[in-house]
Structure 1
């Protein structure tokens, strides 16, 4: 099973004004998932995992109906990816450089091409993990 992974850091703008560091990760052994962590004011990292397909869809247009929603937005010649995250603890809207996130997504596809995720996903390992008492 491939354990190839990529990690990237980006600065997001919270409500268009406050810079927020973000760490994006993708692992070949978890080919359906992208993980992003946002640094809080208290130097903690809040992590969210969501579908790689959701990220791809959100780069092209509005996507997501749950805790993570994405859409591109263009203004003054600059395109950003707007990431909305929501939990019982609160709501945040962040803007990230569209091109940087697009490059990150392209790097995930070099590791695991879209449509070939099942060849990298260890179903038996997942079942073992879920049934281990």
Structure 2
């Protein structure tokens, strides 16, 4: 069984022009980092011309599709009947994207199948890391 889930999504960039540009993005969930979700944007979709990836909690994404969530660099909120807005706050400014809520729900369901919510601690490898630290101490 794979320990990583990746799912392509279409994100609509919100900008000052009337029409929103659609850009590809990839959602990623890794069982080895069970609390986090990553959303990556390819080089053509970024101002820097390099891939940009944001990491935020899986719980934030799950909460944000139901009601506004987040106070920090990443905020998530429902928008209308079938969209969710993700806001990415950086020193350079704020990027806002709309993603179909159904795509986010499908991704979260797949992640839930890999690591059920509330069981993330079982996949942190604490015992292995502690054993490696103690082994290196001798």
Structure 1 runs of 4+ with >2 Å offset: 39-44, 123-129
Unaligned runs of 5+ in 2: none
**TM alignment of 1:1-133, pairs within 5 A:** 4-15=3-14, 17-39=20-42, 40-41=45-46, 43-74=49-80, 78-124=81-127
TM-score (ref. length: structure 2): 0.82
Q: 1:4–1:28: 8 Å Cα contact kept in structure 2?
A: yes
For residue 3 of structure 1, report the CA deviation from its aligned partner: 6.1
Larger-Rg structure: 2
Unaligned runs of 5+ in 1: none
Q: In 2, distance between residues paired with 1:95 and 1:56?
A: 15
Q: In 2, distance between residues paired with 1:125 and 1:49?
A: 24
Q: Hey, which of these two has a bigger chunk of strand by percent?
A: 1
Q: Give the count of matched residue pairs.
A: 126
CA RMSD of aligned residues (A): 2.1
For residue 112 of structure 1, report the CA deviation from its aligned partner: 0.2
